[in-house]
C-alpha cells in the first residue's frame, strides 16, 4: 500500500524540483529530511550509523559487505579472511554479493524446522571467515530464534554479521537488529516503509551499521557541523570511508515517502503495522492449513507463510499451474519455487494493509482452487491463465532467447495469437 499522502509530499517543489548539484545552502530542507530519516532508521534498528545512498536491497547488501571488507582490511585481515557463510535458504543476492567481492561462499544447512543451527555455524567458523549473511526473519517466514547465539559465535571468531533486512517489516518495534548483534543490515524502504515497488523501483536500500563498521560508511553522507547541514562527499574528507556507491545522495523521492509514512504512523503505528502483518499471515496459515501443506509444521509464522506442493501430489497440477490459475481469479501469484529448500514453494505475504474481508475472499478463492485440483479438474489449471490479456508464455524460452525489440507480425493470425 502506497499512501497518497506520500505522493503529495514527494511532489512538493522543495523536494521534487531540486537537483543534487545545487549549492548545499539551497537544499537545507532536503538535507534535514535525509538526516531526520536516518535518525528514525537508526532508532528503529538500534544501530550507530546509516548509509543512505544505496539504491535498493541488493545494492545495500553490496554496501554492507564492502564496509565489512574495509573493516577487515583496516585490521590487516583483508587477504586472510576470504569466506562468507550463507544459509541454504538465503536470497540469491547474498551469495552473489559475496562472490562479487571476491569471497568464497560456504552454505549453512537448514534444520528440519527451517532455521539455522548455531552449532552448524560454529563448525564452519575459523580464521578465514569474514562474516555471515543471514536473513531474519528468514525466507521460510520463520524467526531465527538463535540469532544472538549465532552473532556471539561470529564475533568471537573475529568475523562480522550481515543481516539481510528484506523481512524487517515483521519486527519493526518488536526487535532491534543492533540489540541482536547485527553489524550491518539493509532496509528495503519499499517493503517496510510503503515506498512504491511497481515496475521494479525506484528502490531505496539504506544500510544501518554498527559502531564497529560506522567509520567505513560510504560517501556521501549528511552532517550537522553547526546551525546548518553539510555533505561529506570527497574521499579526502573521510579517509576511512570505502568510497562512493552512487553519484549522489540516494533516492530523494523515496526518502520523502518513507519519512511521510513514519511520521503519519509514529512509533506505535509502525509497531502496529508489524503486528498486523504477522497477524494477517498467520490468519492465512490457519485458514488454509487443513487443505495446503506446511513444510515445517502448523506453527506460527512471521509476516509471510510458506506452503509446499505436497498437497498437489498425484493431482497432475504443479505449483506453476496453480499460480497461473490464481491470475484468472484476479490475484497476483505469490512467490513461487522460493525458498529453494522447499519443493514447489508457495510463499504468501499478505502485508499489514489487507482487511479481514479481503483476506477471507482470498482464502475462499485459494480453497476453491485447491479443492478443484484435488478433484481432478485439471482443465482449470493446465492452460491458465485463460482470461488474462496474455496467455501462458514459454518462460524458459523467454529467458534463454529473449526478444528485446518489437517486430511486426507476419500475418493477422500471428497477431491474434
Q: What is the pLDDT of residues 237-290, one digit of tens each?
A: 998 999 999 989 899 999 999 999 999 999 999 999 999 999 999 999 999 999
Pairing relationship of beta strands 49-51 and 335-336 according to DSSP bridges: unpaired
- Using only C-alpha atoms, the chain has a radius of gyration, in whole angstroms, of 23
What's residue 417's pLDDT? 61
Looking at 3.40.640.10, 2.40.420.20, 3.40.50.800, 3.40.50.300, the CATH number of the domain 4-263 comes to: 3.40.640.10
Pairing relationship of beta strands 129-135 and 104-108 according to DSSP bridges: unpaired
Give the SS3 label for residue 404.
Answer: coil
Average pLDDT estimate for 368-394: 94
Average pLDDT estimate for 357-386: 98
Query: CA separation (Å) from 47 to 63, 132, 180, 211?
Result: 15, 18, 10, 7
What the block records as the C-alpha cell of 124 is 564452519
Could you report the per-residue pLDDT of 110-161, keeping only the tens digit for each? 999 999 999 999 999 999 999 999 999 999 999 999 999 999 999 999 999 9
pLDDT at 200 over 60: no
For residues 314, 319, 324, 329, the Cα torsion angle rounded to the nearest 10 degrees is 80
Q: Residues near 311 by Cβ (< 8 Å), separated by ≥ 6?
A: 291, 292, 293, 370, 374
- For the beta sheet containing 49-51, the strands, ordered from the edge strand earlier in sequence to the opposite edge, are 49-51, 207-209, 184-186, 160-164, 129-135, 83-87, 104-108
Could you report the per-residue pLDDT of 86-114, keeping only the tens digit for each? 999 999 999 999 999 999 999 999 999 99
Grid-cell match 511532489, residue found: 11
Average pLDDT estimate for 42-66: 96
Nearest CA among 271, 335, 340, 312 for reference residue 89: 340
Contact at 8 Å (CB) between 53 and 180? Answer: no
**Strand ranges inside 102-144, DSSP E:** 104-108, 129-135
Q: List, in sequence order, the alpha helices (H) in 289-355.
A: 319-328
316 backbone φψ class: left, alpha, beta (φ>0; ψ -120 to 50): left
Phi first, then psi, for residue 223 (nearest 5°) are: -130, 170
Nearest CA among 63, 96, 339, 99 for reference residue 186: 63
Fold observed for domain 267-389: 3.90.1150
Query: CA separation (Å) from 265 to 3, 261, 365?
Result: 11, 6, 32
Say whether pTM exceeds 0.85. Answer: yes
Could you report the per-residue pLDDT of 291-345, keeping only the tens digit for each? 999 999 999 999 999 999 999 999 999 999 999 999 999 999 999 999 999 999 9
Give the SS3 label for residue 179.
Answer: helix
Q: Which helix (H) or strand (E) holds 305?
A: strand 305-307
Contact at 8 Å (CB) between 90 and 139? Answer: yes
What's residue 393's pLDDT? 84
Nearest CA among 223, 221, 194 for reference residue 207: 221
Give the SS3 label for residue 185.
Answer: strand
Alpha-carbon distance 401 to 393, whole Å? 13
Which residues sit opposite 87 in a β-bridge?
108
Which residues sit opposite 110 in a β-bridge?
116
In the chain, where the domains are located: 4-263, 267-389
What's residue 142's pLDDT? 98
Alpha-carbon distance 253 to 9, whole Å? 9
What the block records as the C-alpha cell of 313 is 501430489
Amino acid at each position: 500500500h502506497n499512501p497518497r499522502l506520500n505522493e503529495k509530499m514527494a511532489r512538493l517543489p522543495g523536494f521534487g524540483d531540486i537537483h543534487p548539484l545545487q549549492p548545499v545552502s539551497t537544499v537545507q530542507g532536503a538535507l534535514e529530511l535525509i538526516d531526520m530519516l536516518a535518525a528514525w532508521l537508526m532508532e528503529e534498528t538500534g544501530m550507530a550509523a546509516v548509509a543512505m545512498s544505496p539504491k535498493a536491497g541488493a545494492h545495500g547488501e553490496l554496501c554492507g559487505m564492502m564496509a565489512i571488507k574495509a573493516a577487515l582490511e583496516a585490521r590487516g585481515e583483508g587477504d586472510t579472511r576470504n569466506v562468507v557463510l550463507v544459509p541454504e535458504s538465503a536470497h540469491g543476492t547474498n551469495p552473489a554479493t559475496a562472490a562479487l567481492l571476491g569471497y568464497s561462499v560456504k552454505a549453512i544447512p537448514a534444520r528440519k524446522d527451517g532455521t539455522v543451527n548455531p552449532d552448524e555455524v560454529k563448525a564452519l567458523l575459523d580464521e578465514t571467515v569474514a562474516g555471515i549473511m543471514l536473513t531474519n526473519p528468514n525466507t521460510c517466514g520463520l524467526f531465527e530464534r538463535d540469532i544472538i547465539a549465532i552473532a556471539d559465535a561470529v564475533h568471537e571468531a573475529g568475523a562480522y554479521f550481515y543481516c539481510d533486512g528484506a523481512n524487517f517489516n515483521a519486527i519493526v518495534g518488536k526487535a532491534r537488529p543492533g540489540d541482536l548483534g547485527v553489524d550491518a543490515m539493509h532496509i528495503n524502504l519499499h517493503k517496510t516503509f510503503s515506498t512504491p515497488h511497481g515496475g521494479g523501483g525506484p528502490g531505496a536500500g539504506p544500510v544501518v551499521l554498527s559502531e564497529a563498521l560506522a567509520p567505513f560508511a560510504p560517501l556521501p553522507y549528511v552532517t550537522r557541523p553547526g546551525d546548518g547541514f553539510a555533505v561529506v562527499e570527497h574521499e579526502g574528507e573521510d579517509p576511512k570511508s570505502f568510497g562512493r556507491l552512487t553519484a549522489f545522495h540516494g533516492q530523494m523521492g523515496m526518502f520523502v515517502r518513507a519519512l511521510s509514512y513514519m511520521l503519519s504512523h509514529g512509533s506505535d503505528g509502525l509497531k502496529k503495522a508489524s503486528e498486523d502483518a504477522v497477524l494477517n499471515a498467520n490468519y492465512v496459515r490457519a485458514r488454509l492449513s487443513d487443505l495446503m501443506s506446511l513444510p515445517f509444521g502448523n506453527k506460527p509464522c512471521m509476516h509471510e507463510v510458506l506452503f509446499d506442493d505436497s498437497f498437489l501430489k498425484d493431482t497432475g497440477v504443479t505449483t506453476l499451474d496453480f499460480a497461473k490459475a490464481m491470475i484468472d481469479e484476479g490475484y497476483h501469484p505469490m512467490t513461487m519455487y522460493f525458498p529453494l529448500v522447499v519443493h514447489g514453494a508457495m510463499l504468501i505475504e499478505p502485508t499489514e494493509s489487507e482487511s479481514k474481508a479481503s483476506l477471507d475472499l482470498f482464502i475462499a478463492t485459494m480453497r476453491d482452487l485447491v479443492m478443484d485440483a484435488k478433484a481432478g479438474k485439471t482443465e482449470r489449471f493446465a492452460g491458465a491463465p485463460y482470461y488474462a490479456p496474455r496467455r501462458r508464455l514459454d518462460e524458459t524460452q523467454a529467458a534463454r532467447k529473449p526478444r528485446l525489440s518489437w517486430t511486426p507480425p507476419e500475418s493477422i493470425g500471428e497477431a491474434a495469437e
